């Protein structure tokens, strides 16, 4: 079992214990207004946090058998052992900015409930996303 799975099992255990404690404390706690009952927002939040941590721990536990041992699990690993290829990032691309402007246009369309503005922003966002993916597949004269 990797260290990530152990960490998330520990987090799930913590959230599970705190969830039970929170539910019992809010059921039997009397405040100044003499109200007795479960506080649903906190109980639901803690239950969802418990389930999310348990889901991540189970995923990491199940995929542990299918992957090699990582540098985080080596006893004498160095920082550079975990470094890999970070990928290629284009420094001169305009399309992330165009996508951001399209999202802002869509947000204004939602905020002021102008459906034409929302549709225009969606079209610009789809166009900019397509151009972002095709920017190195097209010849330079068509950029």
Domain boundaries, the chain: 3-72, 94-134
Residue 100, pLDDT score: 96
State residue 21's pLDDT score. 95
Over range 92-96, report the average pLDDT.
88
Query: How much is the average pLDDT of 45-74?
Result: 88
Residues near 72 by beta carbon (within 8 Å), at least 6 away in sequence: 2, 3, 4, 82
Half-sphere exposure of 11 (CA within 13 A, CB side): 18
Structure tokens at 48: 């969802």
Between 31-40, 67-76, 122-131, the lowest mean confidence (pLDDT) is in 31-40
Encoding tokens for residue 33? 């207004």
């Amino acid at each position: 079992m990797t260290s990530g799975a152990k960490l998330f099992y520990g987090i799930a255990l913590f959230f599970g214990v705190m969830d039970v404690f929170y539910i019992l404390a809010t059921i039997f706690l009397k405040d100044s207004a003499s109200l007795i009952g479960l506080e649903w927002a906190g109980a639901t939040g803690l239950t969802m946090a418990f389930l999310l941590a348990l889901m991540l721990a189970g995923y990491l536990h199940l995929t542990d058998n299918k992957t090699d041992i990582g540098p985080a699990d080596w006893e004498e690993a160095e920082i550079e052992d975990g470094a890999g290829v970070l990928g290629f990032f284009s420094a001169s691309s305009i399309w992330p900015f165009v996508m951001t402007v399209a999202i802002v246009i869509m947000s204004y369309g939602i905020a002021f409930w102008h459906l034409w503005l929302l549709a225009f922003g969606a079209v610009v966002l789809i166009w900019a996303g397509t151009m972002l993916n095709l920017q190195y597949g097209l010849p330079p004269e068509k950029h």
